[in-house]
Amino acid sequence: MIELSNVSFGYQRGRPLYDDLNLRLSAGSIYGLLGPNGAGKSTLLRLISGLLYPRTGRIQVGNYIPAERKPTFLEDLFLLPEEFYLPPVRIRQFVDSNAPFYPRFDRVQMAGYVREFGLTDDQKLNELSYGQKKKILIGFGLATNTTVLLMDEPTNGLDIPSKGQFRRLVAGAVDDRRTVVISTHQVRDLEALIDPIVILNERGIALNASVEEITARLWFGMVSGNDRPELETSQPLLYSERAVGGYALVTENPASEPSRLDLERLFNAVQAEPERIRQLFSSTLTLTNV
């Protein structure tokens, strides 16, 4: 369990990035963390991992306060940053140097990932492509078997086959005790993987709901037509965009009509109608911002 209670944080005095932020994340899920540039996705991961400290409020990860940086906390959390540096050593040397920090690190599991990635453990990290380096870090993070796994833009630099590989490996490495949080702009890459969805905006948490809750309250679909003012829908319209053959819509869904979640359009709907989204999902937010 990860819980943020009344957290305020900002990089500059008088300009808070978060103000009275509340969020609860449960074990056994792969959370998708979405938000526009500057909304604080990477900052949130750093706060959870104890690399940054809240100005006010409380953050708790399991039985730990991240800011205290206790060794038993650090050995049970892994953060894959968006930007990273890897030393010019062989893969096996990297594993040998870093695995001891994680008591549940599985070397057999890591060796399987290296083979899966088409690499060998005698290859030097500095001779790998950016995408290959990222794969090694992803595999290492999964093999730590930490209770908390945080990933910041993990699919950046991966080609299309590798993104499918990533989804499959992450899905296979999650169990009831593990909480995975993936911050991403690449919503199409992870649409079939992340659930629940957390969306940030300039006010904090705009949405925190499961895919089932989202599709029960919102309808995603298409209507034909060539002229935006002539759009007619049976339910209140939250968002529309021009698409081939008509318009793609997000509407309210009081009758819970089935539809397939479109993460990109959900994100746009949340940014376009934040107050209405908040009202629709107020009963599903575990904790809400004020």
The per-residue pLDDT for 231 is 56
Written as six digits, the tokens of 206 are 């705009």
Question: Which fold does the domain 2-195 belong to in CATH?
Answer: Rossmann fold (3.40.50)
**Hey, where are the domains in the chain?**
2-195, 211-280
Can you give the pLDDT at residue 288? 35
E strand segments, the chain = 2-9, 18-25, 29-34, 56-61, 77-80, 148-152, 179-183, 197-201, 204-209, 218-224, 237-243, 246-252
How high is the pLDDT of residue 101? 97
- The number of angstroms, rounded, from the C-alpha of 68 to the middle of its chain's C-alpha atoms is 24
Token representation of residue 4: 């943020």
| Chain CA centroid to CA 282, Å | 21
Percentage helix, strand, coil for the chain under 3-state DSSP, each rounded to 5: 35, 30, 40
Q: Which residue in this structure is represented by tokens 């899905």?
A: 171
pLDDT in tens, the chain (290 residues): 899 999 999 888 778 888 889 999 999 999 999 998 888 899 999 999 999 999 999 999 999 999 999 999 999 999 999 999 999 999 999 999 999 999 999 999 999 999 999 999 999 999 999 999 999 999 999 999 999 999 999 999 899 999 999 999 999 988 899 999 999 988 888 888 999 999 998 778 999 999 999 999 999 998 886 655 445 666 889 999 988 878 899 999 998 899 999 999 999 999 999 999 999 998 544 433 33
